[in-house]
Amino acid sequence: MGLFSLTQELAIDLGTANTLIMHNGKVVVDEPSIVALNIKTGNVMAIGHKARMMHEKTNPNIHTIRPLKDGVIADFEATELMLRGLIKKVSATRGMFAPSLRMMICIPSGSTNVEIRAVRDSAQHAGGREIYLVFEPMAAALGAGLDVEAPEGNLIIDIGGGTSEIACISLGGIVCSESINVAGDVFTSDIQNYIRQQHGIKIGERTAEEIKCAIGAAVPELENEPEDYIFTGSNMLTSQPQTVTLNYSEIAYALDKSLVKLDNALMKVLEEMPPELYSDVVKNGVYLAGGGALIKGLDKRLSKKSGLPVHIAEDPLRAIARGTGIALKNIGNFSFLMGGEK
């Protein structure tokens, strides 16, 4: 590798909604997965938070792209540009010698060979030399502090922006799993549709996202009730401003149809689970990770549906990135990792 060559290790949670990068055990990049491009020149105008601020507010010369959809790459070039820009943020000053990049990237467990190749190629084009991959449920379990190589069953639910993955893990492998395209983006869309239908107001994705984060709920009755959310939008009939007060029970109603699909996916995995592993899960409980775990009362809803204790992972938004970082530090120890090609 040469006398002056250095290797920089990066763990990347390449998500539909957000991309997180860990370096030396710390989250050094946590940005929305979005790119703003100049349509005339094709040049990158902004990535991450700055591009997010432009989203739905652009003029005809600017195009904002969310390059991942349902957990997989939908726009290869935009993904590469975004990755390259975010990696630059890790170390703006690298000195005379650019380090060799070793990357660990988490991917949905249902990824096809084509989708896996797209992630690997994007990472290589963004400067990665050694590329390793880990399935998201394994990363989520590691990030939740579970011993994934133990001879016992652990059940993890990872609710991201594009997909929700439910997996039973034992002895370093996924025994049974279910992946559905019902996650944060669908919840945001549900809120937009509800407000349009019930209140006659059209709102953008960003406003719906803010409502979800403030009062998003999975059950109509909570012990600790969040404050009502007040916003002003354009009335669809009159085009005049109208102020609306929303409470969390309305959002629980708006999300219910989508959450029923999550309930059913969980029950399907429980039905497929071998009896001995099911006994372990009864004892250990179910672990929730990903941004969707922050929806108020979701743990209570899933516990009531399954009859099992449900635990929310510590800092669930960063659990997958944390687990990807653990996988990076154990390249030689974990048999379930993929890749390493240079």
Are 148 and 154 in contact by the 8 Å Cβ rule? The answer is yes
Residue 153 and residue 71 share a domain = no
Burial 179-194 (b: 16+ CB within 10 A, else e): bbebbbbbbbebbbeb
Three-class DSSP category at 84: helix
Q: How far are the Cα atoms of 122, 138, 265 from residue 115, in angstroms, in the given order?
A: 11, 18, 23
Category of 70 on φ-ψ map: left (φ > 0), alpha (ψ -120 to 50) or beta: left
pLDDT at 93: 44
Burial 279-299 (b: 16+ CB within 10 A, else e): ebbeebbbbbbbbbbbbbbbb
Residue 52 and residue 133 share a domain = yes
Where would I find the H helices in 216-289? 248-272, 275-284
Residue 217: strand pairing partners: 296
pLDDT at 339: 83
Residue 176 and residue 110 share a domain = no
How many structural domains are present in the chain?
A: 3
Residue of 340, 318, 335 whose CA lies nearest to 27: 318
In a domain? residue 118: yes
pLDDT at 71: 86
Pick out the chain residues at pLDDT < 70: 1-5, 91-98, 340-342
Residue 15 and residue 73 share a domain = yes
Long-range contacts (CB closer than 8 Å, 24 or more residues apart) made by 174-177:
174/109, 174/135, 174/137, 174/138, 175/273, 175/274, 175/277, 176/269, 176/272, 176/273, 177/109, 177/110, 177/137, 177/269
Where in the sequence is the domain holding 286, given as residue range(s)? 144-182+259-316
Residue 166 and residue 230 share a domain = no
Q: Which of 239, 254, 269 is the last residue of a domain?
A: 254
pLDDT at 100: 84
Residue 172 and residue 29 share a domain = no
The pTM assigned to this predicted structure is 0.91
9-111-209 Cα angle (round to 5) = 80
Residue 60 and residue 157 share a domain = no
Give the separation between CA 5 and CA 239, rounded to whole angstroms: 61
